[in-house]
A and B are shown apart, each in its own frame.
Chain A
Amino acid sequence: MNAPAFGVYIHWPYCAAICPYCDFNVRRDRGDDHSALIDAIAADIAEHGRRFSAGPARSVFFGGGTPSRLSGAQVDKMLRAVDAAFGLAADAEVSLEANPEDCARFAEHAAAGVNRFSLGVQALEDAALRALGRFHSARDALWAIDAAAHLGARVSADLIYAREGQTLDTWRAELVRALALPVEHLSLYQLTIEAGTPFARAVDRGRMAPPDADQAASLYAATQALCDDAGMPAYEISNHARSAAAQSRHNLLYWRGQAWAGVGPGAHGRLTDGETRLATSAHRGVRAYIDAVSANGVGWVERETLSAQAFADERLLMGLRLGEGVARRPIETLRGAAFEETVMTRLRDLGLLSFDATTLRLTPAGRLVCDRVIAELSRLAS
């Protein structure tokens, strides 16, 4: 286990319908044949394998879009490409984002090698699910969780809160039920109104009023308290696990500043090339992506060698999200300067940050203003 941590992110952009809050690279699936995209992704993986001496892959993550729409054979084809390019560790975590509607295919996915399902439950109230533009019911979600659990897979559920009209009491009741689900992991996201989405238009026109910052802060605090009591503390701003083993190994790559290959339309990767950190992003359009792969071997639209300063910023802004905190040394080495004592002390005195010689860590209060604290810390003394 001396090889540096490495994983592969595979983006599958198709969905049965587009959710009104989503700003990811997604498109509606019209039931066309997607074999050309599967082939392109496999070829992209292979080319990454030829260019970078990384591996073995200790995690693979099918994200989207809705990768649970993939067949077992399609998942199998892409996992084989990963194995051929980098080697797939025997104990690799293979996650797949899944919609409850697709639970009939879970067995196929598991047979192809998926051992962790991340289920888009979103809410346990049917009215809320309809408001979020989802087509499944709360019952469907519970059914899907059971289906995944029975396959022996690890299961995580996503929930969206700080929804319009949600009170502390209604959310607490819903969360209590979520914590009782047979899942080892919960991702609890506050609803974010992203520009360009139908929700953003609704808010602009005054047809929708999500909770204000104070209300959202109270909801966050209540969430932390309930989850801590239930033995499911946050290990990241929005992610909770019953144990260290239940944490998402793949997502930790992002937060810990480790390396992964990103393939599929719009996927981002971070790769190590000798001494340098490479940031890649793939064409967002399916056609453009396939064409790029056939022309260049990889689907990149952009490839940037990060400056030490930029890498330092990335490590800070991702690492500080973790409950374990972020190691100071590697970042201070990259930026060529120690974090400013006065800034750290001020943030500590405000009860937002704890730090020692090796680590920076947000306090529970600090997590709510994580982005601002990052901005303060990232500044170099002038």
Chain B
Amino acid sequence: MTPRDRIRNFSIVAHIDHGKSTLSDRLIQATGGLSDREMKEQVLDNMDIERERGITIKAQTVRLDYKAADGETYVLNLMDTPGHVDFAYEVSRSLAACEGALLVVDASQGVEAQTLANVYQALDNDLEIVTVLNKIDLPAAEPERVKQQIEDVIGLDASAAVEISAKTGLNINSVLEAIVTRLPPPKSGDADKPLKAMLVDAWYDPYMGVVVLFRVIDGVMKKGMRIKLMQADAAYGVDRVGVFKPKPTDVADLGPGEIGFFTASIKEVADARVGDTITEERRPTAVALPGFKPAQPVVFCGLFPVDAANFEDLRAAMGRLRLNDASFSYEMETSAALGFGFRCGFLGLLHLEIIQERLTREFNLDLIATAPSVIYKIRLRDGTVLDLHNPADMPDVMKIEEIEEPWIKATILTPDEYLGAILKLCQDRRGLQRELSYVGSRAMVVYDLPLNEVVFDFYDRLKSVSKGYASFDYQIEDYRAGDLVKMAILVNDEPVDALSMLVHRARAESRGRAMCEKLKELIPQHLFKIPIQAAIGGRIIARETISALRKDVTAKCYGGDISRKRKLLDKQKEGKKKMRQFGKVEIPQEAFIAALKMDGD
């Protein structure tokens, strides 16, 4: 057990690419956690996808033993938190396990939208903050301007900011000293009380099974004891207790203020819920920790195998992913257009993308994803309220009193020159402006936006209108009533379930027209003409027609042409397998994929 006053628990708050991972690596190196040889670039981001995209999905810790200038040796627990809003709840739990945070800001780029959201969360959790300006060695670095910006925008005193270069290792020691001298040790905690610890995160390790990351508040965690997860209401015998240095290293016990891991033959990650309270089975603590929330999917979409024969593979892959990611949910779905697949729930758009990418990459599956949707609350005339995330499940309009949709508060930081285009984008997406201010040459806009307008293709549009310079973050705000309607797409008078969507009435016509035009391009001519319509209820709001094929005939066909024609026919038959039959119309698989990917504007 480490004495409480020798412990410092902290996390790092930073925007992508501002150097969080590099700084973590330097801290590990400087305290001798790993030899240079063992030092893989950016140790903490384990998954391929994490490394490639520079984001952290799972919280991780590393314990550093640091001999400070005062001659004492301190235990520094660096908590690496997910940096994305999709994982806001996980972030909040990670932050709740710390007393301090390093705010890392790129000395040339300055504060970004994501930094803001995370630093406010840290402040909400009463964390002490040490500001670190990174990349101070770059010619473009403007530490004074950025310090001013931090004070203006965040309201933090940045005068004592530590100026470093994580890349070259400049001033890394000053960071370590600042952690010891400026961040507080864990507040009160009593080793004699019954165990009370917070479950910070959990993941599946192929060698160790389910590994639980936790922070002790009161009591002691040791090997062999019987513990209980209070929310899950399940008890386990603890097999291993340890810390990451960063390699997993067993310890005898962990006391108040300490952070570490345990394993206890927990079968599924889903059983170890983030935010749960860990206590002793025989001598439980009286009150669970506040702030627990079950994982709540926010964005939904259907995932279908491109080749129907891969359905079972997809099911197996979903099961394996779910083992390690309890926040991802799925249930079977059948679509007339796309066959058998799954309706999946995600914490947000990034989470959706990550899961989709892992399915494709790690399990080698070709997938079709339907347009993402959100959870609508449908208030029926009989007083009941339904949660709806699949337009196919929409009840009869006559029974509906009102539909509510989730709204977000979006914060966008952008160079001034793109502001006009961004305001127009937000306005087009039914946004309500809440704030517009300037931070040096950068504008900060805060908008209320319906989430369903954002899940569509907002990121892509924002990126394109700002040439990639705008940064964006959001928080779920509330549910608000909206004039939402189900828009069906009919091909040859048959509704195509995979293409129907809930849209705001004011946006229905433009979306419907865009979809019809796109399908007209994508569906090949048939022997008959094919009407393509967008409809709300029985009312057609947009229409295109694919004219009938007028001519498809070989002019000359003699003895020397037969083999070629037959091979062509064989090819056509092969191609038919990739068609989805829709009534009398055959729609190529690619048409569905392209239609679902389409831009909204």
Contacts and interface: CB of A to CB of B under 8 A. Distances in A.
Interface string B535-565: 0000000000000011111111111101101
Contact of B558 (A251, A350, A372, A375): A251
A213 interface: yes
B555 A190 contact: yes
A367 interface: yes
Contact of B566 (A63, A260, A313, A376): A313
A378 B559 contact: no
Nearest to A269: B559
Interface string B565-583: 1100110110010000000
B584 interface: yes
B397 interface: no
Contacts of B584: 346
A214 B562 CA distance: 26
Contact of B572 (A213, A352, A367, A375): A375
B559 A370 contact: no
B527 interface: yes
B559 A237 contact: no
B545 to A, nearest CB: 15
Interface stretch (A37-45, A293-301, A314-322): A314-322
A148 B557 CA distance: 25
Interface of B: 527-528, 549-560, 562-563, 565-566, 569-570, 572-573, 576, 584
A266 B528 CA distance: 39
Interface centre among A267, A268, A281, by most chain B C-beta atoms within 10 angstroms, is A268
A279 B563 contact: yes
Contacts of A25: 560
Contact of B569 (A191, A266, A368, A375): A375
B558 A368 contact: no
Contact of A369 (B549, B557, B558, B573): B549
Contacts of B551: 213-214, 216-217, 220, 368-369
A313 B571 CA distance: 13
A276 interface: no
A190 to B, nearest CB: 5
A314 B552 contact: no
A93 to B, nearest CB: 15
B560 to A, nearest CB: 5
A102 interface: no
Interface in A334-353: 346-347, 350, 352
A301 B347 CA distance: 62
B555 to A, nearest CB: 5
A197 interface: no
A375 B566 CA distance: 10
Contacts of A317: 557, 562, 565-566, 569
A63 B560 CA distance: 11
Interface centre among A251, A268, A371, by most chain B C-beta atoms within 10 angstroms, is A371
A363 to B, nearest CB: 12
A369 B562 contact: no
A227 B496 CA distance: 45
Contacts of B553: 237, 367-371
A189 B556 contact: yes
Interface string A268-289: 1110000000010100000000
Contacts of A281: 563
Contact of B555 (A189, A214, A266, A270): A189
Contacts of B549: 369, 372
B559 A347 contact: no
A50 interface: no
B584 to A, nearest CB: 7
Contacts of B576: 379
A59 to B, nearest CB: 11
Interface of B is mostly: loop
A217 B525 CA distance: 15
Contacts of A279: 562-563
**9 closest Cβ contacts across the A-B interface?**
A217-B550, A370-B553, A213-B551, A372-B552, A189-B555, A217-B551, A254-B559, A268-B560, A190-B555
A9 B555 CA distance: 20
B556 A192 contact: yes
A125 to B, nearest CB: 19
A74 interface: no
A371 B552 contact: yes
A372 B569 CA distance: 10
B122 to A, nearest CB: 60
A24 B549 CA distance: 28
Given A281-B563, A369-B527, A379-B576, 18 more contacts: A190-B555, A192-B556, A214-B550, A238-B555, A251-B558, A254-B559, A262-B560, A268-B559, A279-B563, A314-B566, A317-B562, A350-B527, A367-B553, A368-B550, A369-B549, A369-B550, A372-B527, A379-B573
A63 B551 CA distance: 28
17 contacts: A11-B560, A25-B560, A189-B556, A217-B550, A254-B558, A266-B560, A313-B570, A317-B557, A317-B565, A321-B557, A350-B527, A367-B553, A368-B552, A369-B550, A369-B551, A372-B549, A378-B569
A374 interface: yes
Given A317-B566, A350-B528, A238 B560 contact: no
A79 interface: no
Contacts of A220: 551
Contacts of B562: 254, 268, 270, 279, 314, 317-318
A251 B559 CA distance: 8
Nearest to B526: A372
A73 interface: no
A352 B555 contact: no
Nearest to A188: B555
Contacts of A318: 557, 562
Contacts of B555: 189-192, 237-238
B195 to A, nearest CB: 62
B554 A352 contact: no
A317 B566 CA distance: 8
A63 B556 CA distance: 14
Nearest to A368: B551
Contacts of B559: 9, 253-254, 260, 262, 267-270
A313 B560 contact: no
B551 to A, nearest CB: 4
A253 B558 CA distance: 9
B581 to A, nearest CB: 10
A379 B575 CA distance: 12
Contacts of B570: 313
A376 B584 CA distance: 12
Contacts of B565: 317
B552 A369 contact: yes
B141 to A, nearest CB: 54
B191 to A, nearest CB: 71
B574 to A, nearest CB: 11
Interface centre among B528, B551, B558, B566, by most chain A C-beta atoms within 10 angstroms, is B551
B556 A238 contact: yes
Contacts of B554: 192, 237, 370-371
Interface in A1-58: 9, 11, 24-25
